[in-house]
């Protein structure tokens, strides 16, 4: 064989190699850039990892776990009916959906049919044992919540593509993705939540809800100087790991995204305005009587009151008539401006995406001024109320709620009421607990101040539902120099024998707040100033 034959063979071989490499290159480009369209690629995009969420003490709240999604190729040679039945039995998938999908995609350029997401190892083993052709497992992640129902509405959940759709999972999504990217998928975002406080708050709210057969209940614990929310509870709740609701479950966060007429706890703002604008004095006496007429309207008391009351007892005994007179001294224009300054007439802004737009009078006349003064005719979210109340007692400085740990940083802003007004309100709230409707909120040694609220519940026709109340209590402690505010609420509780059949806040919400404070105060490092118990010396 001469040299020319060898040269031709070398040239032909080299040409074949070039063609082969070109085909491989074209195939790589096709798979890389156009695989989704030409090959029915299973995933259109990679699931973006999320960093861990933890409470302020490092307890894990949410984490990505590696799982697999199962797909079946509709162009694989197997009996669709039998395959759909077997796959449904192994994974819990819907058999009819699988069969319909396989038939529809058997001649498609995208022949993949989703069988089940986030299958368990046991399910994977059961699928493998079937021996069906054309099955593919795609790596994915499942968001796991170790505490389950412990903070369900607050933490929120993600969708099947690992995007936050509620709670802090949605509100902190950018932080969560940045933290994951910066640490190669293993970062964390530290929230302000203290799960010790969260568990106690949830336990006491649920106990009270059951005891008084209330439809729902909720609570908030906030640092009045940093605005950090240490606990937020909404009941009924749900299991975020189950991905389905059981009878009686609810995903709605009633303390952040619902708005209520909160009743007498709103009197806190009426008194704060009165002191701040020097329209009332602590020892000033008002005539109460049995009814207070404003035009064609008459304001009545929830309970019988004396003929006259000094200012401190108007709040302590929760007199509607006395509070209405104090509100009218300010007038509608100044009252509206004061509530605006406290942030109560706009939706609350925080890292929590759930929020509620307040409802308030469009025509702010005399009767509206009076009723708003004692907490009716205006609806706000409990989170908005708590934030405004914190500004009243923390020295009178604006506070913004946060769900990200601030390490105790003082985040108080500009003055919204005078420091002297804040001091007077703290003294008055303490008086409500020692001498008024808040007696059952007392937690010995922790100097609790607070206010009860028993609001009528509006019905669907615009009228109040007879005998239906929404009760709440707003507590601050220690009252002389507050560090924390505790808010608790029950929706339509019922009186019991122990309370003499009464369902007012002093009997239902106040004791709940006292129990919460007695349990969380030691954990939060608040010293107990109760006098030591004197023990018997054993002498006769």
Distance CA 290, CA 308 (A): 10
Answer yes or no: are the C-beta atoms of 381 and 258 closer than 8 Å.
yes
Angstrom distances, CA of residue 386 to CA of 390, 393, 484, 492, 500: 6, 11, 11, 20, 30
Distance CA 191, CA 176 (A): 11
Which of 166, 226, 264, 422 is catalytic? The answer is: 264
Distance CA 365, CA 137 (A): 67
Q: Residue 327 is encoded by which pair of tokens?
A: 């509100």
Distance CA 438, CA 452 (A): 6
Q: Provide the phi-psi class of 114: left if phi over 0, else alpha when psi is between -120 and 50, else beta.
A: beta
| DSSP conformation class of 403 | S
Distance CA 64, CA 51 (A): 7
In sequence order, what E strands does 186-242 have? Answer: 188-190, 216-223, 229-235
Active site residue 264: yes
* DSSP states along 459-484: -TTSSEEEEEEEEEEEEEESTTS--E
Distance CA 432, CA 511 (A): 14
Angstrom distances, CA of residue 2 to CA of 5, 7, 12, 521: 6, 9, 16, 100
Helix, strand, coil fractions of the chain, as percent rounded to 5: 40, 20, 40
Distance CA 163, CA 166 (A): 9
Spatial CA neighbour of 474 closest among 231, 205, 264: 264
Q: Provide the phi-psi class of 148: left if phi over 0, else alpha when psi is between -120 and 50, else beta.
A: left
Peptide bond before 236: cis, by omega within 30 degrees of 0? yes
Q: Strand, coil or helix: what is 61?
A: strand
Distance CA 467, CA 457 (A): 9
Distance CA 474, CA 464 (A): 23
* DSSP states along 267-288: HHHHHHHHHHTT---TT-EEE-
Q: Residue 508 is encoded by which pair of tokens?
A: 């239902």
User: First-to-last CA distance in the chain?
Assistant: 130
Answer yes or no: are the C-beta atoms of 239 and 250 closer than 8 Å.
no
Spatial CA neighbour of 457 closest among 252, 288, 216, 212: 216
Spatial CA neighbour of 393 closest among 476, 323, 318, 473: 476
Q: Residue 47 is encoded by which pair of tokens?
A: 């699931």
Please identify every residue annotated as catalytic. 264
């Amino acid at each position: 064989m001469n040299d020319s034959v060898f040269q031709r063979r070398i040239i032909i071989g080299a040409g074949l190699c070039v063609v082969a490499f070109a085909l491989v290159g074209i195939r790589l480009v096709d798979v890389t850039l156009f695989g989704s369209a030409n090959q029915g690629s299973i995933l259109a995009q990679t699931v973006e990892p999320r960093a861990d969420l933890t409470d302020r003490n490092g307890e894990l709240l949410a984490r990505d776990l590696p799982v697999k999604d199962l797909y079946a190729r509709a162009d694989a040679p197997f009996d669709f009916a039998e395959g759909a039945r077997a796959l449904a039995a192994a994974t819990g998938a819907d058999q009819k959906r699988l069969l319909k999908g396989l038939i529809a995609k058997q001649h498609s350029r995208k022949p993949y049919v989703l069988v089940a997401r986030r299958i368990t190892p046991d399910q994977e083993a059961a699928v493998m044992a079937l021996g069906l052709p054309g099955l593919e497992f795609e790596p994915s992640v499942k968001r796991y919540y170790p505490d389950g129902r412990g903070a369900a509405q607050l933490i929120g959940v993600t969708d099947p593509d690992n995007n936050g759709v509620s709670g802090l999972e949605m509100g902190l999504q950018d932080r969560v993705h940045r933290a994951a990217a910066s640490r190669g998928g293993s970062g964390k975002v530290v929230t302000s939540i203290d799960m010790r406080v969260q568990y106690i708050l949830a336990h006491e709210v649920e106990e009270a809800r059951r005891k008084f057969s209330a439809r729902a209940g909720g609570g908030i614990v906030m640092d009045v100087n940093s605005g950090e929310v240490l606990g937020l509870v909404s009941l009924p709740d749900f299991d975020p790991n189950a991905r389905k609701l059981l009878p009686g479950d609810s995903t709605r966060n009633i303390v952040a995204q619902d708005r209520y007429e909160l009743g007498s706890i709103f009197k806190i703002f009426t008194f704060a305005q009165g002191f701040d604008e020097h329209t009332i004095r602590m020892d000033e006496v008002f005539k109460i009587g049995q009814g207070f007429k404003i035009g064609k309207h008459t304001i009545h008391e929830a309970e019988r009151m004396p003929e006259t009351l000094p200012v401190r007892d108007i709040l302590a005994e929760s007199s509607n008539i006395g509070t209405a007179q104090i509100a009218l001294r300010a007038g509608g224009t100044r009252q509206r401006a004061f509530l605006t300054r406290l942030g109560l007439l706009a939706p609350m802004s925080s890292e929590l995406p759930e929020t509620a737009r307040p409802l308030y009078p469009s025509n702010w006349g005399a009767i509206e001024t009076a009723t708003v003064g004692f907490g009716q005719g205006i609806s706000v979210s409990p989170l908005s109320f708590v934030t405004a109340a914190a500004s009243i007692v923390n020295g009178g400085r604006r506070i913004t709620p946060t769900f990200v740990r601030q390490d105790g940083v003082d985040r108080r802003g500009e003055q919204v009421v005078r420091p002297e007004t804040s001091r007077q309100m703290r003294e008055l709230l303490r008086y409500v607990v020692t001498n008024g409707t808040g007696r059952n909120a007392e937690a010995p040694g922790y100097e609790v101040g607070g206010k009860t609220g028993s609001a009528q519940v509006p019905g669907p026709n615009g009228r109040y539902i007879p005998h239906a109340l929404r009760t709440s209590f707003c507590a601050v402690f220690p009252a002389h120099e507050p560090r924390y505010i505790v808010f608790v609420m029950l929706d339509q509780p019922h009186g019991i024998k122990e309370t003499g059949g009464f369902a007012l806040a002093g009997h239902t919400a106040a004791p709940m707040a006292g129990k919460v404070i007695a349990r969380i105060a030691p954990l939060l490092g608040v010293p107990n100033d109760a006098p030591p118990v004197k023990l018997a010396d054993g002498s006769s």
